[in-house]
Amino acid sequence: MNKGQDAVLIDSSFNYALFNSGDRKHQQAKTFAAGSLLVAYVPDIILVEAAYLIERDFGHYAISGFLKAFLSTQPNLQSITLSDLIRAHEIMSDYEKAKFDLVDCCIMALAERLNITKICTFDRRDFSVFRPAHCDYLELLP
């Protein structure tokens, strides 16, 4: 599968800001999502992290509201494969001192597999350090 350059992968931080009207980056995420012509792919692995953040900040029952709002967007979910997990482990090992988390490493692996060079994220550190195999760097949006 080759998604190409007209696509973007959505990170947990962007997704959380988009669906949390109290987040300081909410308006920026909302404006970008509304105006972007890129095809957005949501790695399924970010949903667990997003649910954790929502439960942490708003309580267990807020997860249902998040899911309802998220599902209403009819997201393009992208599943993590075994090869993605193998590549994520390689990335974690290669960047051991940077302490990349598993979700970010899976997004990096997905970007390589799908030939996607753009990531929607507010967590710039890990994605800025990473040097993907398929391009010189990942373009971080918004």
What CATH topology corresponds to 7-141?
Answer: Rossmann fold (3.40.50)
Q: What is the pLDDT of residue 1?
A: 46
CA distance 49 to 65: 16
Q: What is the pLDDT of residue 4?
A: 60
Cα dihedral 94→97→103→107 (10° resolution): -40
pLDDT greater than 70 at residue 100: yes
CA distance 68 to 141: 25
56-69 residue pLDDT tens: 999 999 999 999 99
Q: What is the pLDDT of residue 105?
A: 97
Query: Which has the closest alpha carbon to 117: 89, 83, 140?
Result: 140
Q: What is the pLDDT of residue 37?
A: 87
pLDDT greater than 70 at residue 70: yes
pLDDT greater than 80 at residue 5: no
Please tell me what DSSP assigns to residue 97.
G
- Please give the model's pTM, rounded to 2 decimal places: 0.90
Q: What is the pLDDT of residue 104?
A: 96
